[in-house]
Structure 1
Amino acid sequence: MRASALKGPVKNDGPNVEVDVYSFMTTTPNVLTDSINHERMLVLPSKEDEFETWLSGTPAEAFALARSFDPAAMRIVQSGFDKEDLLAA
């Protein structure tokens, strides 16, 4: 399991600046995502109360959500080298 986060001002050979950052956590892949990355998959909160815990809970509560997502609730949309941009207008 891995987590990454960055808080507060960032300094890189100059004045402190505030930056917007994000973090994500990975866990053991399920059988569907294992074919893409056999080491890890994103933790995917899927219930309303899990979102609130993820955003506002304690670190221990957030880590308790770190589990593989149910592969039956997922589907492969595209695979292979010739993938189409499905979000293009």
Structure 2
Amino acid sequence: MGEQKQKNLTKDEFIFGKKNYKFMLIGLGIIALGFILMSGGGSDDPNVFNPDIFSFRRIRLAPTLILIGFGVQIYAILLNPNKK
């Protein structure tokens, strides 16, 4: 009898809804884009300095995108899927 009640009470529900997963994928895409923008800019020859590593894209834009992506992830986790 106890097992029947427990089986009836536990439904196969996901913690997050469809909207949560959409925002999580968007946030993950923004984070990946930030890391892609941050990569590169190195030099093949260690004796040659490449000033491109200090560009606006690598110093300001990419870290900002990563932080925005983490903010979207936090929003996706805190979003109430049952609210209509």
Same fold per TM (> 0.5)? no
Higher strand share: 1
If the TM-score is normalised by the length of the shorter chain, which range does it land in?
under 0.3
Higher alpha-carbon Rg: 2
Q: Which has the higher contact order (CA 8 A, sep 6+)?
A: 2
By percentage of residues, which structure has more helix?
A: 2
What TM-score do you get using the length of structure 1 for normalisation? 0.23
The alignment's TM-score, normalised by the length of structure 2, stands at 0.24
